[in-house]
Structures are given as structure tokens and as C-alpha cells.
Amino acid sequence: MTSVTDPPQGSFRLSMLINDTRYRSYTFQFIALVLLIGFMAYLGINLVSNLAAQGLNISFGFLGDPAGYDINQTVVEYDSQSSHLRAAVVGIINTLIVAFLACVTATIFGVIAGVLRLSNNWVVRKLMAFYVEIFRNIPVLIWIIIIFSIMTVSMPAPRDFRGDDATAGMLFDAFAFTNRGVYSPAPVIDGASGWIVIGVFIASIIGIFAYRRYATKKLYDTGQLLPMLWPSVALFFVPVILAYFILGRPITLDYPSLQGFNFQGGLHLRGSLIALWFALAIYTGAFIAENVRAGIQAISKGQTEAAASLGLRPGRIMNLVILPQALRVIIPPLISQYLNITKNSSLAIAVGYMDVTSTLGGITLNQTGRAIECILLLMLFYLTISLLISAVMNVYNNSVKLKER
Amino acid sequence: MKKTAFYGALTVAGFAASMASAATLDDVKERGTLNCGVTTGLIGFASPDANGVWDGFDVGVCRAVAAAVLGDPNAVEFVPTTGKTRFTALASGEIDMLARNTTWTFSRDVDLKFEFVGINYYDGQGFIAPRDLGVSSAKELDGATVCIQTGTTTELNLADYFRANNISYEPVPIETNAEGQQQYLAGACDVYTTDASGLAATRAAFENPQDHIILPEIISKEPLGPLVRHGDNDWGDVVRWTLNALIAAEELGVTSANIEELAAAPTGNPEINRLLGTEGELGAMLGLEADWAKNAIAAGGNYGELFERNIGENTPIGLARGLNAQWTDGGLLYTPPFR
Ligand SMILES: N[C@@H](CCC(=O)N[C@@H](CS)C(=O)NCC(=O)O)C(=O)O
């Protein structure tokens, strides 16, 4: 029963760095740090000297040179005379587009499938189990290629829509499903009054959230239950429709039509975008379904029973008791699923979708030979975007997590 | 202590660096095989047959180099590369040389630090379109969807051509020729564009080649040739002069049929003697055996034989010699003298 006590304070000797418990951990940490720095320095020097031996250097000047290649899906202005930097920006935007679409869709698939996996209906339950097992156990690259190949091989080419003996037709004269993607009408905003309608629409969405918050507060404060569904629906549709007609229909639709080799006008969702989007959504949705199921099952049955004994209806039990608690379990893994979607979107090149890996990390890298610079920039981009997503989701997680009073 | 560690690291790094640019010729001899980068499959230029044996016009260059260096045309490890991966493969040392329909350009030669050792096919970029599309000129392609291999010169030429003619197009980027062929045949793009020789080779693999036409416009110069890493001049010389030997052999009338006879004893033509090693020391100057060029030519025949057998007019690809005829026949093939 003796406790180890440090030797009494004396003059400092070098051996104390190892023998003295007060210093020992610092010594080892210091050694580890030096080794780590040394290793990093070695890698860095190795890189620089190898580059020098091959007559190469690290320089980002190429980003200002004309890219020289064209990109099919561009949201911002871009042509082949634009700089490599701009090509990278176009790629970044395309990455964000597909990542956003896939995150939203995957969440919808995942929540539906996760809840239905717990259904009392045997067929529905098994069907959802089948979905989850099939989709998450086949690599997402294969899904991307499967969806893309099915589209290019089985859908009609634009020229099949032409002439009197056309073998394919448009849906409602508005949608064309071709092997180059889907063409749909695109909204055209005419001048200021068009933007007012959009403003009204955004305002009513904010209004819906404000109303729901107000109703929840009222419920907690006074116990009075205000109706939720119909005011939300009314807020969603009525103001915007009113504004639309009062301002004289300032938003029109631009329909796609067959001109020359392709459909022109309207919105063109390219086959590559659709394949990537759905493959990512359906694959990650299967993982999210499992997270949702786990989250719901993590809430003890006693909660349901207690709520029921207070007289709550099953729908309310789900919305007011189970889901708020389940969200705490669901959100953290959901963050990593969103990160996965963003990172997996770099498989875009398999179907020729021009994301940032295809522009900066593909064509630019290849045409300029600036492999190290391009890869460094790519790493920086994916790191930044992943940290941003984590940060945003963490804020949300903090808002739903258990508040300790 | 810190200083020594630093210098230690520096030496190791320096050592690693010098290893990377060590003499490729010695590496190849020591390894006993040549690592040669080729396409992922382009009939006539480089493609594996049913037994997995690679054959083709570019493959012929690889085999000739292997025969010159190692005495065995089969001592080649073929590494399939795409338009995107080929330069990394060469720069990293994964392959010793690249023979893959690669265009000699300024930036590849100077900025990417490669060394083109010559030109084995003078080409230009063309378009292929289905006959029933009804186009007869590339200028009519306004608004068309074009399949294009990424990481190639053709991608840049395409952008320039449409820009210069003030017409628009929608690019569909693809990775390999096989993918391009599939997309084109499925109608996912209206036309496919690449080197005209590549188009001819691709069309030869179609079920109904006559349903597709190659448009008359040739929109660029594409001198295709083998290349090696910059900075290893000895190895560059070996590959350069092997290619030259194949071209010289055709010019001098040395074929796979008569080579044994011509190499058996000095002939009346001193250049043939120097080429085949019965006179002079050319092989030793390259660091090779005296019969290096004889082996290279015997591997698959001279340039003309390689051409006729793989891509010539009597093959499904059916390319005429055109610019690729000997200078004596009005073409551009002109090898420096063996002396
Ligand atoms: N000559 C051009 C294009 C080379 C190229 O990619 N050619 C195609 C068709 S001619 C090819 O070899 N494809 C075979 C493959 O995809 O592996 C260049 O060097 O950039």
C-alpha cells in the first residue's frame, strides 16, 4: 500500500527526462513530434528533389491559361477560351449540383425505406429489406454504369423523334426522354414582376416555418393544438398563385423542341447527371434507411406506450415523441452519409459528368501535366466542402440533441 | 543531431531521385522484359487477340525495340493505357516507352518532359457520322453532339475547330475508344471524332462499316510517334534508331524474307551492312549487340511490312500509305542515314 511519490525537488539532471514521471511523457511526446516532423520533411524534400531531378517545379500559373476544352454542362459562363481556373469552378458547381440533388433524394428514399422497414405489413417490410440489401451491397460505381448504360441503350435517340414515321414521341409535348438525357420545359422569368413572384414564394416558405414554430410554442405554452397541415398547404400555394395572376403571369415555360441534331430550349438533364444522381441517391438511400431504422428502434417501446396511455394518436406519437428523439441517433451517421455522397460524386468521370474531378483533376491535369498541383487543389476542395457539410450538420445536430436543463 | 538527420534525409531523397532517372536501358536488360504502353484496344494499332497476344502497328514498334535490346520480340509486357493515364504511366516509370497513337506536340515534348523519338504515322483528326444522318461536311455539324476522348489533342482541336467556324456542339467526354464506339453506335452522340487512322480502325470493327462515312475535313495535324522520358538520352537513342531501322530497312529493301540472307555476310551495299551489323560498330555505340537492327527487323518485318499487315489496304482497316510512304515514293518517311 505504498504510493509512488516523485523524488523531492532537486537540481535538474538529464536522466530525469526519462526517469522522472513529471517529465517522461513530455519527453516521449517531444520525440514523437520530432520524428513526425522529420518524416514529413523527408517526404517533402523527397518530393521537391524528385521534381527537380525531372526538371519539374510546383507552380499554379497554369490556372490562368486558357483551358482549350469545352464542357457540356455549364451553369456559369464558360467557353474553351476561359481559364483553367474557371473550368475548375464550373466543375465545382457541377459537383455541388449533383451532391445536393443526391443528398436530398437519398434522404427521401432513406426515410421512406427506413420507416417502411418497420411496417407491420410483411410484404412491404420484406420489399424494403430487399431494397436495402441489394443496393448497399453492390458498389456504387457499378450502379452508376448500370443506370447510364440502360439509358443510352434503351432510350430513343433524338433523331427517332423526327419525321412522320417517328418511333418515339414526347410526353405531353413537354418532356422528351432520350438517350442523351431528359428534356423538360424550363421556367423563364420575365423581368422584375417575375422575380416578385419568386420573392413571394420564398416569403411564404419562411412563413410556413414561422407558423409552425408559433404553433409549437403555443402547444407547449398553453396546450392548445393549432391545425398544422392545411395552413401550411394554403401558405404554400395561395400567395404565389395570387401574385402570379395579379402580375399578369410573368413566368412562362420554355418548351424543348427538336431542332437540327438535338432538342433545343427547355431544361436538359443530361444522362450522365441522371445516372450519377440516381445511383448515388439509391445507393446511399439504402444506408440512410438503416440509420433511420436504427434511430427509431433505439427509442424504447415504453415511450410509445407512455404516449399512448396519455391518449396520443399513433401519428402524433411518431411526430411528437419518437421522431424528435430518434433524430438524435439518426443525424450523426447521416452527416457521414452526406459526406460519402459528396466524395462518391467524384466517380462522375465514369459516365463523363464534368464534375471537378473530371475538369480540374481530369482534363486540366492531363493537358497541362500539372498533376501535383491539380491533386493538391482537389484535396483542398474536397476537404473544405466536407468540413463545411460537417459544420452545418453539427449545428443542426446541436439544435435537436438532448437539452440538459 | 538535427542537422545530420536533415542531411541524411537529403541524401536518401537525392538517392531516390537519382534512381528514378537511372538508365532505362540497363533496367530493361536486367528485367529481361520491356514495359511498353499501348492503347486499351484499337484494332490494327494495338489490340490483344483471342489468346491474349497483342498485335498491331504500334505493338510492332514495341516488339522491335524488345528484339533490338533483348533479342526476343516476345519479351514485352504490354501495359494498356487510356488517353488520360498514358503520360502518368510513362513519367512514373511504370512503362519504359509509350507507343500509343500519341501526337507529338510542343507542350508534351517541352512542358511534360517527354522525348518523342520520331513519327511512325502521319495523321490528322477526322469525324465519322452515320450515313443516314445526311451530313457531308463537318461544317454542317452545328448543334451536334460529339463523342470525344478526354485527355487528347483531339479534344482541344475540336474546341478550336467549332470556335473558328462559329458553330456550336455538345461534347460527350469518354475515356476509351471502346466506350466511344459504344456511345456512338447507340446514338448517344451524332458523330465521333479522333485521329482519322483511329476512325478507320474503329469503323472496321463495326457490324456494318458501310453505313458510316468519314467526313472529308481533316482538322488538324497529328504526327503520331513513340516517346520516352526526357533526360535519358541513351534510351531515347535506342528507341529512335530502332524505329529508324524499320524505316531504313524498307527503303533499302531489307525485308523479313531476305534478312537472314543479307545478314549472313557483308553485301555490296555498305549501309545495309552497317544496319545489319556485318560492318562497323553501330550496335556497340548504342550499347546493344551487333545484330540489334537485324533482330528488330526480323521481329515483324520492316516499316512497310508492319503497315501492310496491320493497317494497310488489304486489311479491314484499309489505310493507304499516303503521307506515310517513303520519301522516294512521295511520302514523308525519311530516316537519317545509318553511318
Ligand atoms: N493522337 C491523339 C489521340 C490519341 C487517341 O486517344 N487515339 C484513340 C483513337 S485513334 C485511341 O488510341 N484509343 C484507344 C484507347 O482508347 O485505348 C493524342 O495523342 O492525344
Q: Are B195 and B222 in contact (CB under 8 A)?
A: yes
- Which of B237, B334, B333, B247 lies closest to B282, judged by CA? B237
**B74 CA → ligand 1 middle, Å:** 24
**Location of each CATH 3.40.190.10 domain in chain B:** 21-122+224-329, 125-220
Question: What does the alpha-carbon distance between residue A34 and residue B229 come to, in Å, rounded to a whole number?
Answer: 37
Number of the ligand 1 atom closest to the C-alpha atom of B149: 6
Helices within chain B (DSSP H only): 2-20, 24-31, 57-70, 86-91, 106-110, 153-164, 177-185, 196-204, 233-252, 259-264, 270-276, 282-286, 292-300, 303-310
Which residue, among A256, A258, A204, has the nearest Cα to A234 in the 3D structure? A204
CA of A263: how far to CAs of A27, B192, B288, in Å?
71, 19, 61
**Cα–Cα separations (whole angstroms), residue B225 to B100, B102, B108, B193:** 8, 6, 12, 20
Residue at grid coordinates 545489319: B276
- For ligand 1, atom 9, the nearest C-alpha belongs to B198
Q: By CA distance, what is A74's nearest residue in B?
A: B170
Q: Measured between alpha carbons, how far is B151 from A68 in angstroms, rounded to an integer?
A: 11
d(CA A255, CA A265): 6
B224 CA: nearest ligand 1 atom: 1
How far is A51 from A30, CA to CA, in rounded Å? Answer: 31
The residue nearest atom 6 of ligand 1, judged by CA position, is: B83
Distance in Å, alpha carbon of B280 to nearest chain A alpha carbon: 35
Please name the helix (run of DSSP H) or strand (run of DSSP E) that holds residue B123, with its range, or none: strand B121-123
Residues A114, A128: Cα–Cα separation, whole Å:
8
ipTM score of complex: 0.80
Among chain B residues, the shortest Cα distance to A154 is held by B186
CB contact under 8 A, A354 and B173: yes
Q: Kindly give the number of the ligand 1 atom that is closest to the alpha carbon of B123.
A: 1
Nearest one of B127, B96, B132 to B114, comparing CA atoms: B96
CA of B214 to the centre of ligand 1 (A): 17
Measured from the CB, is residue B125 less than 6 Å from ligand 1? no
By Cβ distance, the residue of A38, A54, A363 closest to B9 is A38
Q: How far apart are CA A374 and CA A88, in angstroms?
A: 10
C-alpha cell of residue A145: 454504369
* A50 in contact with B, Cβ within 8 Å: yes
In short, whether B220's Cβ falls inside 6 Å of ligand 1 is: no
| Partner B, chain A 315-374, Cβ-Cβ below 8 Å | 349-350, 352, 354, 358, 362-363, 366-369, 371
Domains of chain A: 84-185+255-400 (1.10.3720.10)
Closest residue to B145, CB basis, from A80, A261, A349: A261
How far CA A300 is from CA of A251, A307, A324, A325, in Å, comes to: 51, 12, 13, 10
C-alpha cell at position A31: 520525440
d(CA A91, CA A78): 11
pLDDT of residue A404: 63
Task: Give the CA dihedral A310, A312, A314, A317, nearest 10 degrees.
Answer: -80
* pLDDT tens series, chain A, 405 aa: 455 555 555 677 878 877 888 888 888 888 999 999 999 999 988 888 887 776 677 888 889 999 999 999 888 999 889 999 999 999 999 999 999 999 999 999 999 999 898 888 899 999 999 999 999 999 999 999 999 999 988 888 887 887 666 677 777 777 888 888 888 888 887 777 788 888 888 999 999 889 888 888 888 888 787 787 788 888 888 888 888 888 777 777 888 888 888 888 788 889 999 999 999 999 999 999 999 999 988 888 898 899 999 988 887 888 788 888 888 888 888 988 999 999 999 999 889 899 999 999 999 998 888 888 899 999 999 999 999 988 888 888 888 776 665
Domain B125-220: top CATH class: alpha beta
Q: Is any atom of ligand 1 closer than 6 Å to the C-beta of B154? A: yes
pLDDT score, position A194: 80
The residue whose CA has the least distance to atom 19 of ligand 1 is B102
| Contact across the interface for A50 and B6, Cβ inside 8 Å | no
Distance (Å) from the C-alpha of residue B310 to the closest C-alpha of chain A?
A: 29
CB B112 within 8 A of CB A369: yes
The DSSP line for B136-199 is -SGGG-TTEEEEEETTSHHHHHHHHHHHHTT--EEEEEESSHHHHHHHHHTTSSSEEEEEHHHH
- Beta carbon of B244 within 6 Å of any ligand 1 atom: no
Low-confidence ranges of chain B (pLDDT < 70): 1-22
- Give pLDDT, residue B15: 41
Whether residue B103 has its Cβ less than 6 Å from ligand 1:
yes
Residue B140 CB burial class (10 angstroms; 0-12, 13-18, ≥19): middle
Number of residues assigned to chain A:
405
pLDDT at A10: 63
Q: Nearest Cα to A71, choosing from A354, A363, A374?
A: A354
B39 C-beta closer than 6 A to ligand 1 = yes
Q: Pull the grid cell for residue A369.
A: 501535366
Chain centroid to Cα A375, Å, comes to 21
Q: Please, are residues B148 and B171 in contact by the beta-carbon 8 Å criterion? A: yes
List the single residue in B12, B108, B113 with the smallest CB-CB distance to A54.
B113
CB A84 within 8 A of CB A62: yes
Whether B159 sits inside 8 A of A80 (CB atoms) is yes
CATH 3.40.190.10, applies to B21-122+224-329: yes
